[in-house]
Structure 1
Amino acid sequence: MTKSKNNFLALLFSVAFAYFAFGAITNVAGAIVPKIKETYQVSGSASSFLASVFFIAYGLTSVPFGALINKMGTKATLVTGALITTIGVFMFASVPGYYANMSAMFICGVGITAIQVAANPLVKEISNPEKYSRNLTLFMVINGIGSSFAPYLVTFVKSRGLEWNYTYWLFTIISIFMLFGLAFPKYPEEKKSESESKSKNNFAYLLKDPLMILYALAIFLYVGVEVGVANNIGLFLEDVHKISSVMGDKAEAAKNAAVGNYWFGLLLGRLIGGLVLDKISSKKAIQIFISFAALALGCAIFSKDLKIVLWAFPLVGFFISIMFPSIYGLAIDSYKKEHASMVSGILCTAIIGGAVIAPLIARIAEISGSIESPNWQAGMLIAFACYAYIFTVGIWAKQKS
Structure 2
Amino acid sequence: MSKEINVLGAEVHGPEAGGTEEKPKLVTAQMLIPFILLTSCFAWWGLANNMTDTLLAAFKKIKSMTDFETSLIQMAFYGSYFCFALPAALFIRKYSFKSGVLLGLGLFITGGLLFYPASITQEYYHFLAALYVLAGGLSILETSANPYMMVMGPKGTATQRLNLAQSFNPIGSIAGVVISKLFILSQLRDISEAERLAMAPEALKAVQTEELAAVMNPYVTVSVILILTWILIAVNKKMPKASDSGTMDLKKSFASLFSNKDYIFGVLAQFFYVGAQIGVWSYTIRYVMTEIGLNEADSATYYIISLVCFASFRFIGTALMSRFKPSNILITKAVTAGILTCLVMFVGGTVGVYALVGISACMSIMFPTIFGLSLETVEDENIKLAGSGQIMTILGGAVLTALQGVVSDATGSIRLSFLVPLACFVIILLFGYKESRKAKA
TM-score (norm 2): 0.78
* Of 357, 379, 383, the match for 1:340: 383
* Residues 1:15 and 2:67 are matched in the alignment: no
Aligned equivalent of 1:317: 360
- 2:294 aligned partner: 243
Q: Distance in 2 between matches of 1:255 and 1:65?
A: 38
Distance 1:40 1:368 in 2: 31
User: How big is the shift at 1:349?
Assistant: 1.6
1: CA distance, partners of 2:241 / 2:408: 51
1:297 to 2:323 alignment:
no
Q: How far apart, in 2, do the equivalents of 1:270 and 1:101 lie?
A: 33
Q: Which residue of 2 aligns with 1:394?
A: 432
Which residue identity does 2:161 align to in structure 1?
A: N
Cα 1:46–1:158 shift into 2, 3 Å: closer
C-alpha displacement of 1:31: 4.2
1:75-109: CA deviation from partner (whole Å, max 9, x where unpaired): 22111111111122233465255544433332222
Partner letter of residue 349 of structure 1? M
Shift in CA distance, 294/170, structure 1 to aligned 2, threshold 3 Å: farther
Q: Distance in 1 between matches of 2:143 and 2:160?
A: 18
Confirm whether residue 361 of structure 1 aligns to residue 404 of structure 2: yes
Equivalent of 2:161 in 114, 126, 135: 135
- In structure 1, the partner of 2:193 is none
Rg larger for: 2
The Cα of 1:297 is off from its aligned counterpart by 3.2
Alignment of 1:251-290 (within 5 A): 251-252=296-297, 254-290=298-334
Q: Is 1:88 the counterpart of 2:111 in the alignment?
A: yes
Name the CA distance, whole Å, in 2 between partners of 1:61 and 1:161.
33
- Of 171, 178, 188, 2:240 maps to 188
Q: Deviations over 1:36-65 (max 9, x none)?
A: 444444555764562364222232221221
Give the conservation status (yes or no) of the 8 Å contact 1:299–1:312: yes
CA deviation after TM superposition for structure 1 residue 210, in Å? 2.9
DSSP-derived class of the 1:376 partner = coil
Match of 1:350 in 2: 393
Give the distance between the partners of 1:223 and 1:267, measured in 2 at CA: 16
Structure 1 residues 287-296 or 166-175, which shifts more?
A: 166-175
Q: State the number of aligned residues.
A: 387
How many Å separate the matches in 1 of 2:428 and 2:70? 27
1:40–1:97 CA contact under 8 A, matched in 2: no
List 4+ stretches of structure 1 deviating above 6 A: none
Paired amino acid for 1:131: T
When structure 1 is superposed on structure 2, of 54-63 and 342-351 the one drifting more is: 54-63
Q: 1:311 to 1:180 in 2, by over 3 A?
A: farther
Question: Partners of 1:393 and 1:285 in 2: how far apart?
Answer: 12
Q: Is the 8 A contact 2:404 2:417 kept in 1?
A: yes
Q: Residue 328 of structure 1 corresponds to which residue in structure 2?
A: 371
> 1:191, CA displacement in angstroms?
4.5
Provide closer, same or farther for how the CA distance between residues 33 and 361 of structure 1 changes in structure 2, counting only shifts above 3 A: farther
Kindly state the Cα deviation for residue 304 of structure 1 after the two structures are TM-superposed: 4.8
**Is the aligned partner of 1:148 residue 2:200?**
no
How far, CA to CA, are the matches of 2:261 and 2:159 in structure 1?
22
**8 Å CA contact 1:45, 1:362 repeated in 2:** no
Q: Is the 8 A contact 1:118 1:341 kept in 2?
A: yes
- Matches of 2:440 and 2:331 in 1, distance apart? 21
400 and 76 in structure 1: CA distance in 2 versus 1, 3 angstrom threshold: farther
Query: Per the alignment, do residues 309 and 168 of structure 1 end up closer, same or farther by CA in structure 2, a change over 3 Å counting?
Result: farther
Q: Does 1:385 align with 2:411?
A: no
Residue 343 of structure 1: how far off its partner (Å): 1.3
Q: Which residue of 1 aligns with 2:4?
A: none
Inter-partner Cα distance in structure 2 for 1:400 and 1:83: 43
| Cα offset, 1:389, TM superposition | 0.7
Equivalent-residue separation in structure 1 for 2:76 and 2:352 (angstroms): 28
Residues 363/108 of structure 1: CA separation in 2 closer, same or farther (3 Å cut): farther
Percentage of identical aligned residues: 20
CA RMSD of superposed structures (Å): 3.0
d(CA) in 2 for partners of 1:386, 1:79? 34
Name 2:150's counterpart in structure 1: 124
Equivalent pair of 1:20/1:147 in contact (CA under 8 Å): yes
Cα 1:46/1:304, change in 2 over 3 Å = farther
Shift of the 282–226 alpha-carbon distance from structure 1 to 2, 3 Å rule, reads same
Determine the structure 1 residue equivalent to 2:208.
Answer: none
- The superposition leaves residues 153-184 of structure 1 with CA deviations (integer Å, 9 ceiling, x where unpaired) of 11221586464624323432343333223322
- Residues of 2 paired with 1:103 and 1:379: CA distance? 32
The corresponding residue for 1:372 is: none
